[in-house]
Chains A and B, each alone.
Chain A
Amino acid sequence: MFYREAGDFKTSYVDDSQTFPIKFDRYRYYVVLVVAFGIIPFIINDYWANAILLPFLIYAIAAIGLNVLVGYCGQVSLGTGGFMAVGAYACYKLMTAFPEVSMFIHVILAGGITAAVGVLFGLPSLRIKGFYLAVATLAAQFFLVWLFNRVPWFYNYSASGQINAPERDTFGILITGPNASAWATYMFCLIFLTLSAIIARNLTRGTIGRSWMAIRDMDIAAEIIGVNPLKAKLSAFAVSSFFVGISGALFFALYLGAVEVGEAFGIQKSFLVLFMVIIGGLGSIFGSFAGAAFLVLLPVVLKVVGADMLGWPTDIVAHLNLVIVGALIIIFLVLEPHGLAQLWRVAKEKLRLWPFPH
């Protein structure tokens, strides 16, 4: 009944190759956009913005970035936290050096700087694969955190080694700092997430995305049919790091406002984003959204239900959260390696035939 292509005629190739070829799906997408851009900014409050929506939007960008690398190009990376730190510190240095420049430009430049760093650390991927590459990116993670802790220039020689986001605006609207309004920070992140998703979607279904997937599925065969592994792997690292860098910049400047590199961008951040990609679904843009939403919402929902409504002790709820996330990762890896995105695809197939399955 839903998601049926019957009667949905296309008369041009452009129509035929659009992201949501089924009419019902397309309208659903438009509704989501209208709600996100047109309704939520008017009803949002501080709690929803800072506790739920900002982390979701920012982690979704990071998950899209990691998904490009791990899900589409098959290069395992454990350096996400380090690359987010590069984005955050680049953004901080730019914000303090050029206070009059718009935040949009700072965040995009921070992404660009992270892309360059990502390419640098992606070089070993030309020679090593799999676990060995994971270890090389792990080295990137530890090296970058050590670097930002060690060299005072990165944190402007502050006594505590912390970086604090000063107040900055874009088009006269405060975006960072404590006085920024909830809707402004939300819209800022939402615009970046929307653009990131559209860019990632269009990259992954074009030439470059096909070359990434060819490398992922079998790199030797890909090389034989004419895919340049140097170009494909390094471009995947660059694009992935670009998104991860943007998410790091937003994470620092808009969400936390003050960051300590070891605590905010440690190895556990790399694993968290990797779990988002695994639970959400490797090689799927929707999966990045689903994984981020799931891992951001789960602790909050557990806290609200367990501690606030049922009155359980807070430590039991916190431990329960760890147990559930751990169990879910095992369950997903065993039962549904393609994650929430695959569940969604199956649900769509079922809905297509509902209520008369054969």
Chain B
Amino acid sequence: MKLKLTTLALGAMMAAGPVMAELVMPSLSYRTGPYAAGGIPFADGYADYFTLLNERDGGIGGVPVRVIECETGYNTEKGVECYESTKGEGALVYQPLSTGITYQLIPKTTADGIPMHTLGYGRTSAKNGNVFSHTFNYPANYWDGASGAVNYLLEENGGDISDKKIALVYHNSAYGKEPIRTLEELSAKHGFELILLPVDHPGQEQKSQWLQIRRERPDNVIMWGWGVMNQVAIQEAANIRFPMENFIGIWWSGGEHDVLPAGAASDGYKALTFHNVGRDFPIFQDIQEYVVDAGKAAGAGDQIGNVLYNRGLYAAMLAAEAVKEAQEIHGTADITPAMMRDGMEALDMTEERMASLGLPNFGPTFTASCENHGGDGMVGVVQWDADSQTWSLISDFAPTDQDVLGPLIKADSQSYAEENNIPAQCE
């Protein structure tokens, strides 16, 4: 009997045993629904980078990374379920890849003390770390995008666009409405005329919007689209023979899957970006060796090197670098979400750092701080070449109009702070 009890106790101890330290990275992905075309490459890139770190380096600082994938379908209710089911696992950082889910998670993650990184989406004024303690949106946000597009047009037109007419075709949701306020300010500053054309979810029906564009004849069209809306818009633009080089999409409207359906007609289409494109970086050899050849690629493994795959890779890289910062600050390899937040706030992305990771000139350099959770907002422009089926960076990462954006961000975050009684976070 005694022996039995001892064995039982031993068994229980073995089972409870020393818990293996691991870094939990939830991936709130969507591989189904009308937005899957963009969700799949992003999720693949995000997962593959961590697989690479695990296979090549044995994790980050010796601690393996565990990616928990949870399907949200771009749906806020499923997003809640995913958040609640993964937060108990010790999730270090959330990247919901949906502006709707972001709005919902901003107060929740702050209350639970888990950082959230919204890479080029979500609430723009989260850049103000003085109000949004746990939300990060470096290296660029939507208002940077709007300003970047206008700056690019200014540059193209010799600094004067006062006689221009610019149309904004946008997804009629929180996401698509984000740039309107900035564009209105910029239109007042630079004197261009702004036409707003909302497209309802999911965006398969855009005949009337493009008919209006045909009638109003804007000089340029800027698009804030996502998912199936992008492909339809580019096809419709081709149908009305709108010159593609005058059509600029936000970075979420600039993937291969967005331009390929329109074929040769999409040649010359432009999109904004905050990271580099293509697979001409040393890291892709490692991914081939340690991930693809080992049969560990996420999804079908056919997205490697796509624009959105690179973005997922970039998101994962920024998270991994923040983990390294956190490990350094706190002197422990097994970090908590609170330490992760400190790491994200201390993140300093330099050219040497990116080069040492095998990603030279992959994104803009920036430094995060307590006040600045949004980086410096450097935005570049890429253009699609339908013959070679490649994107190429035609305008390098350039600064955006912070004179206009700064006050807007301050005003918006201040009103949020007042609504929710948030004291200043940085002393």
Contacts and interface: CB of A to CB of B under 8 A. Distances in A.
Main secondary structure of the interface of B (DSSP, over half): helix
A179 B420 contact: no
B205 interface: no
Nearest to A160: B174
A318 B108 contact: no
B181 interface: yes
B343 to A, nearest CB: 23
Interface stretch (A65-73, A82-90, A223-231, A253-261): A253-261
B73 interface: yes
A210 B172 CA distance: 44
Interface stretch (B80-88, B155-163, B220-228): B80-88
Interface string A189-216: 0000000000000000000000000000
A280 interface: no
A256 B104 contact: yes
A317 interface: yes
Interface range for B: 35 or more
Interface range for A: 35 or more
Nearest to B419: A166
Given A256-B77, A260-B100, A161 B84 contact: no
Contacts of B198: 149
Given A47-B85, A51-B85, A262-B201, A178 B110 contact: yes
A41 to B, nearest CB: 17
Contact of B32 (A55, A179, A258, A319): A319
A331 interface: no
A276 to B, nearest CB: 14
Contact of A159 (B73, B412, B421): B412
A79 interface: no
Contacts of B412: 159
A314 B31 CA distance: 8
A252 B400 CA distance: 36
Given A159-B178, A255-B80, A317 B71 contact: yes
A318 B177 contact: no
Contact of B84 (A51, A160, A266, A315): A51
A53 to B, nearest CB: 11
Contact of A51 (B81, B111, B421): B81
A199 B178 CA distance: 43
Interface in B390-427: 412, 419-421
Contacts of B111: 178-179
B103 A318 contact: no
A162 interface: yes
A170 interface: no
Contacts of B201: 262-263, 266
B200 interface: yes
A313 B421 CA distance: 42
A50 interface: yes
Contacts of B421: 167
Interface string B299-317: 1000000000000000000
Given A51-B81, A161-B177, A319-B32, A260 B69 contact: no
A160 B77 CA distance: 19
B104 A318 contact: no
A116 interface: no
Given A257-B107, A258-B103, A166 B420 contact: yes
Contacts of B80: 50-51, 255-256
Nearest to A315: B31
B206 interface: no
A263 B76 contact: yes
Contacts of B32: 315, 318-319
B100 A315 contact: no
Nearest to B106: A258
A260 B172 CA distance: 10
Nearest to B109: A178
B123 interface: yes
- Which of B73, B107, B299 gathers the greatest number of chain A CB atoms within 10 Å? B107
A299 B32 CA distance: 14
A55 B200 CA distance: 26
Interface in A238-271: 255-260, 262-264, 266
Given A263-B100, A314-B70, A159 B107 contact: no
Contacts of B77: 55, 255-256, 264
Contacts of B107: 164, 177-178, 257-258
B285 interface: no
Given A50-B80, A260-B76, A161 B174 contact: yes
B230 interface: no
A178 B83 CA distance: 13
Contact of A160 (B76, B110, B123): B123
Contacts of B87: 46
Given A166-B419, A318-B73, A260 B173 contact: yes
A218 B347 CA distance: 71
A315 B32 CA distance: 6
A299 to B, nearest CB: 8
A166 B201 CA distance: 27
Contacts of A160: 99, 103, 123, 174, 177-178
Interface string A296-308: 0001100100010
B200 A315 contact: no
B336 interface: no
Given A160-B174, A260-B100, A266-B201, A178 B108 contact: yes
B29 interface: yes
Interface string B169-184: 0001110011011000
Contacts of B81: 50-51, 300, 303
Contacts of A166: 419-420
Interface string A273-310: 00000000000000000000000000110010001000
Nearest to A49: B84
Nearest to A52: B81
A47 B88 contact: yes
Interface of A: 46-47, 50-51, 55, 149, 159-162, 164, 166-167, 177-179, 255-260, 262-264, 266, 299-300, 303, 307, 313-315, 317-319
Given A178-B107, A263-B76, A313-B31, 12 more contacts: A46-B84, A50-B84, A159-B178, A159-B180, A160-B99, A161-B177, A162-B100, A162-B174, A257-B108, A260-B76, A264-B77, A303-B71
7 contacts: A159-B177, A255-B80, A256-B76, A256-B77, A263-B76, A264-B76, A300-B81
Interface of B: 29, 31-32, 36, 69-71, 73, 75-78, 80-81, 84-85, 87-88, 99-100, 103-104, 106-108, 110-112, 123, 172-174, 177-178, 180-181, 198, 200-201, 299, 412, 419-421
Task: Report the 3 A-B pairs with minimum CB-CB distance, sorted nearest first.
Answer: A315-B31, A178-B111, A178-B107
